[in-house]
Amino acid sequence: MRCVHPQKKVFKNKISSLLFKEAQRYLVGGVNSPVRAFRAVGGSPLFIKSAKGSIIVDEDGNRFIDYVMSWGALMLGHAHPKVVGAIKQAADKGTSFGAPTRAETELAKIISYAIPSIEKIRFVSSGTEATMSAIRLARGFTKRKKIIKFEGCYHGHCDSLLVKAGSGISTFSCPDSLGVTQATIKDTIVVPYNDIKTTKQIVQRNFRDIAAIIVEPVAANMGVVMPQIGFLAELRNICNRYGIILIFDEVITGFRFTFGGAQNLFGIEPDITCLGKIIGGGLPLAAYGGRKQIMEYLCPVGGVYQAGTLSGNPIAVNAGIATLKVLATMDYLWLNRKISDFCQSLKILIRSSKINCTVNHAGSIFTLFFTEKPVTNYAQAKHTDIQKFKKFFWAMLNSGIYCAPSQFEANFFSFAHTDKDREKTFQAIIKALKSL
Ligand SMILES: *Cc1c(COP(=O)(O)O)cnc(C)c1O
């Protein structure tokens, strides 16, 4: 059997398709997280057997250069020996204690050294928990109830954040998911990303009620979208003026562009930072932290409750320490420059070939949108030609490149990607674009 895709059918995926059939009998949609099911691109997902560095290998033995990188978690690439070593060592000593360990303090030290706005931190097991808890904390601290989030920013699947804006920009939104009640989201206000004017208007009208503004300092869940100049600084000003807690969701951006957060690059400090993905080195680990005065509202010191059986799990924390120790020695500027060059060449090529395509990039992540207009917010991102994206995705897969199976995701370079990978990927993109 061959790849079940409307387009070209080149590589074999017999085993993956059989496994997917069986998985669908037991797992909902055959997966444990929706985007893995390839619904956005059609066809059957690849089942991954193993991975090393920049390469993933599927059950049929196909090898791909990976740009999903566990959705950005693997800044050092797959199965980095130092990280795997730390995991093995930790596992030998016990998998979970439900009691404090030295390693938690060590990881906390490294993180607050790298991100000085984090004076105190709390470890949790997923980015969703981090943002959900940060919002609870902001509400507990300010004694206010409303929050502002931006359209197209993803903060995990916590009910109150599962909201997309309706067409009216300042309207109180509709839930994005069945099971999320109107009551849960009535205190969530959604504003277009990069729209400081609307943000100001809404804050001026509601400032006594707004506990927090939560934002991805570089948006990476509608595809990559950079904050416009002044956007984050203005958010900081607004929050200062009205006593609103500014939450940077750095679950993707933390340790992505520099050994620290996007906040270090932009020189804007939030009150609370959410981290996840990279800090766990591929294990379930996330965190939220910030100003001591706010963090100490958390139980057992303060009255905001939040807990976790596996929070600060010793294996995950040791994987995190190993990851950050290696990352501290890596040349982020070098990597960012490489990817910047990569994207510049791509832009030049696209311009000369008159393909309707926009390259958005930040540091080592990028997205190709199939629209010629600039993409600075979610409405513009949605102008993309999804049919073209689908064709592009499969053309890339057929050239041995595994991109995110959705237009509204970033592609992630890691320190493990080689010049050869970049060259091969560049050629594959040219070929794929020409085939559209
Ligand atoms: C992935 C992500 C989350 C959610 O993290 P999970 O570990 O999947 O719960 C939250 N915020 C951002 C910006 C993310 O990219």
Indicate if the pLDDT at residue 4 is higher than 70.
Answer: no
Q: Of all residues in the chain, what percent carry a pLDDT higher than 70?
A: 95
- In the DSSP assignment, the letter for residue 226 is P
- Tell me the average pLDDT across 267-272: 98
> What whole-number distance in Å separates Cα of residue 145 and Cα of residue 206?
11
Atom of ligand 1 nearest to the CA of 129: 9
Q: What pTM value is reported for the model? A: 0.95
The pLDDT score that the predictor gives to residue 9 is 57
Closest CA to 311 of 337, 284, 291: 284
Q: Determine whether the shortest distance from the Cβ of 126 to ligand 1 is under 6 A.
A: yes
Indicate if the pLDDT at residue 185 is higher than 70.
Answer: yes
- Tell me the average pLDDT across 367-386: 94
Domains of the chain are 14-66+331-435 (3.90.1150.10), 81-327 (3.40.640.10)
Q: Determine whether the shortest distance from the Cβ of 212 to ligand 1 is under 6 A.
A: no
- Please choose from 128, 153, 215, 216 the residue to mutate so as to test ligand 1's pocket, defined by most ligand atoms within 8 A of CB: 128
Indicate if the pLDDT at residue 372 is higher than 60.
Answer: yes
> What whole-number distance in Å separates Cα of residue 86 and Cα of residue 321?
8
Lowest mean per-residue pLDDT among 175-179, 257-261, 309-313: 175-179
Atom of ligand 1 nearest to the CA of 252: 15
- Please choose from 272, 277, 313 the residue to mutate so as to test ligand 1's pocket, defined by most ligand atoms within 8 A of CB: 277
Indicate if the pLDDT at residue 175 is higher than 90.
Answer: no
- Tell me the average pLDDT across 187-203: 96
CB atoms within 10 A of CB 75: 28
Residue tagged 């139980």 (tokens): 299
Q: What confidence tier does 174 reach under pLDDT thresholds 50, 70, 90?
A: low
* Region of 239 on the Ramachandran plot (φ > 0 left; ψ -120 to 50 alpha; else beta): alpha
Q: Which residues contact 209 (CB under 8 A, 6 or more apart)?
A: 144, 145, 146, 187
- Tell me the average pLDDT across 314-340: 98
Q: How long a stretch of residues is the chain?
A: 436
The pLDDT score that the predictor gives to residue 182 is 87
> What whole-number distance in Å separates Cα of residue 299 and Cα of residue 305?
5
Indicate if the pLDDT at residue 2 is higher than 60.
Answer: no
In tens, the pLDDT along 121-160 reads 999 999 999 999 999 999 999 999 999 999 999 999 998 8
DSSP states of 261-314 as a string? -HHHHHT---SEEEE-GGGGTTSS-EEEEE-HHHHTTBTTTSSB----TTTT-H
Atom of ligand 1 nearest to the CA of 131: 10
CB atoms within 10 A of CB 373: 11
List, by residue number, the catalytic residues: 154, 249, 277
In tens, the pLDDT along 22-78 reads 999 999 999 999 889 999 899 999 999 999 999 999 999 999 999 999 999 999 999
Q: What is the 57 CA–ligand 1 centroid distance (Å)? A: 25
Q: What is the 6 CA–ligand 1 centroid distance (Å)? A: 31
Atom of ligand 1 nearest to the CA of 127: 5
Atom of ligand 1 nearest to the CA of 71: 1
> What whole-number distance in Å separates Cα of residue 126 and Cα of residue 140?
21
Q: What is the 430 CA–ligand 1 centroid distance (Å)? A: 31
In tens, the pLDDT along 161-173 reads 988 633 333 344 4
The pLDDT score that the predictor gives to residue 317 is 98
- Tell me the average pLDDT across 344-356: 92
Q: What is the 156 CA–ligand 1 centroid distance (Å)? A: 5
- Round the average pLDDT of the chain to a whole number and report it: 94
Q: Determine whether the shortest distance from the Cβ of 221 to ligand 1 is under 6 A.
A: yes
Q: What is the 348 CA–ligand 1 centroid distance (Å)? A: 33
Q: What is the 272 CA–ligand 1 centroid distance (Å)? A: 15
Lowest mean per-residue pLDDT among 41-45, 164-168, 192-196, 427-431: 164-168
| Helix locations, 296-377, DSSP H | 314-327, 332-353
The pLDDT score that the predictor gives to residue 172 is 47
- Tell me the average pLDDT across 376-388: 94
> What whole-number distance in Å separates Cα of residue 201 and Cα of residue 188?
15
